[in-house]
Amino acid sequence: MPYRYTIASRVYVFEELKTLLAKATPLRSGDALAGLAAAGFEERIAAQLALADVPLKVFLQEALIPYEDDDVTRLIIDGHPAATFAPISHFTVGQFRDWLLSEQADTPTLQTLAPGLTPEMVAAVSKLMRNQDLIAVAQKCEVVSRFRNTVGLTEHLSTRLQPNHPTDDPKGVAASIIDGLLYGSGDAVIGINPASDSPAAVSKLLHMIDDLREKYQIPTQSCVLCHLSTTLQLIPDNPVDLVFQSIGGSEKTNQSFGVSLNMIAEAQEAALALQRGTVGQQVMYFETGQGSSLSANAHHGVDQQTLEARAYAVARKFNPFLVNTVVGFIGPEYLYDGKQIIRAGLEDHFCGKLLGLPMGADICYTNHAEADQDDMDTLLTLLGVAGCNFIMGIPGADDIMLNYQSTSFHDALYLRKVLGKRPAPEFEQWLIEQGILDKNGRKLPLKSSHRLLL
């Protein structure tokens, strides 16, 4: 079905819904590379105005990727709860935007509505929003998750302590973990990207983190971010808290990652059987990123931001403890500069939260992108205001194994201080008991005799 909008005497025609969505998307290099972006500002505005008049119901009737060809499409359509969607089913995309920005769309209402929204609906409405709109709506979406502590409460900000090492040296990893803990990082997860995906290497890291956590009775969870198939091999005989997997917004994208929805379900079931959580049993950790489908030649002519939102439907299916976009990691071919990275980070957080996900962000860039740490400071602050559940904590903000720039332990301290945010409650109490923070959340000076340094 074609969509049209006239500006002055020029009629813009968009042949199908996925074309309309792509042309309405704020400019980014990945869509231009795929040949999907609007030709200029006027065509983009025409597409956005046409998109504003599209009824939300259309997204349930016109699949962007054919139902019979894609299990993510089938997941979205088959699992859609019509009764939950009913209160807003009469809205157009533009009316949905206005309602989201109104006082009627408060936190309880958005929490109730979340299961009734599809990724295509939230991606569409995000394309009509300014950055401040994305922040204002996301801030109203409280999404709380629980395993060994509680992440996502309003006025709290958690961190993934990311102690990567180029050779998986246990001493180097342990030193980074201790460093992060002494700066109050690690309440979202202590999560290592292993240099090797071999079961033996991953098992060694799992036991090392778990021994450290048990020794100091740290109320947090651990994860070695190996491939899901490796985790499945290790679960019976190793201390696996969270199961990790990168995911995308189409079946072919997930095939390129070497996974399927059935594999993810199997891993979730195996992890749940361990019953390692103490305050909850949300055992899945997913990472996503705009551009992954294009890089795998699995985009089906759909723009990268909409495909990113579709990845959140996969995540939502498995009730995750953590989800984060790795917003600038894939490179400038997909998000060219700081402006595009900032916009994408706000979009991803907004879409994830609106869909009911415990959304965090790896606020990052690669060294060949037209971005710098000032851009990351801007996105960090904006996401903090938007209520982002967690960010990364990396020594010096420089990942020496993955070779990219992210956020540091100090960045988390800055954001908590200027926005009045605190760590996860259980973890904060542990930090106070260890003499790392005072009761007002301020970092205390440490002596060389501190027990974590012995």
Q: Is 161 annotated as a binding residue?
A: yes
Q: Is 149 annotated as a binding residue?
A: no
Query: Long-range CB contacts (< 8 A, 24+ apart) of 175-180?
Result: 176/395, 177/209, 177/212, 178/452, 178/453, 179/395, 179/409, 180/393, 180/395, 180/409
Q: Is 262 annotated as a binding residue?
A: no
Relative to beta strand 145-146, strand 189-192 is unpaired
Contact predicate 392/160, CB 8 Å: yes
Q: Is 245 annotated as a binding residue?
A: yes
Q: Is 130 annotated as a binding residue?
A: no
Q: Is 193 annotated as a binding residue?
A: yes
Q: Is 60 annotated as a binding residue?
A: no
Q: State whether residue 5 is helix, strand or coil.
A: strand
Burial class from Cβ neighbours inside 10 Å (0-12, 13-18, 19+) for residue 281 reads middle
Q: Is 254 annotated as a binding residue?
A: no
Q: Is 185 annotated as a binding residue?
A: no
Contact predicate 321/268, CB 8 Å: no
Q: Is 194 annotated as a binding residue?
A: yes
* Neighbouring-strand partners of residue 265: none
What is the per-residue burial (b if ≥16 Cβ within 10 Å, else e) of 150-162?
bbbbeebbbbbbb
**Residue with tokens 């956590």, as numbered in its chain:** 213
Spatial separation of the C-alpha atoms in residues 423 and 438, rounded to whole Å: 12
Contact predicate 320/277, CB 8 Å: no
Binding-site residues for substrate: 160-162, 193, 287, 362
Extract the annotated binding site for adenosylcob(III)alamin.
Answer: 194, 245, 295, 401
Sequence ranges of the binding site: 160-162, 193-194, 245, 287, 295, 362, 401
